[in-house]
Amino acid sequence: EPEVTQTPSHQVTQMGQEVILRCVPISNHLYFYWYRQILGQKVEFLVSFYNNEISEKSEIFDDQFSVERPDGSNFTLKIRSTKLEDSAMYFCASSGRIDRLQYFGPGTRLLVL
């Protein structure tokens, strides 16, 4: 069964450093998303991406964040200058054109020290 994959599974970084989180969505999906979950809190929407551009973003997704689909398979989230409060689990998800089901990847656990 097709699945969304994410790398790395864990990342530790120093405050102020740039990180890139990578995702490979399900191959025939056209919509891509990033969510985050701070430990012990609910899952929050960050951004959705379709047709090579951002279609929707939340207040959390400020200028420190960017997304890119550099090739036909990868979808990345970049945090330019990490802050302590960026420590969270980051989930990538994808969905098809008609089916509104979003399939989530296993997540990347980011720890900012």
Give min distance, CB of 109 to other proteins, in A: 8
Length of the chain: 113
Q: Is residue 44 a contact residue for other proteins (CB under 8 A)? A: yes
- In the complex with other proteins, the residue whose CB is nearer, 75 or 91, is 91
Give min distance, CB of 81 to other proteins, in A: 26
Q: Is residue 87 a contact residue for other proteins (CB under 8 A)? A: no
* DSSP at 45: E
Query: How do beta strands 108-112 and 10-13 pair?
Result: parallel
Whole-Å CA distances, 90 to 28, 38, 93, 99, 102? 22, 9, 10, 23, 15
Which stretches of the chain bind other proteins, using CB under 8 A? 31, 33, 35, 37, 41-45, 48, 55-56, 58, 89, 91, 93, 95, 100-107, 109
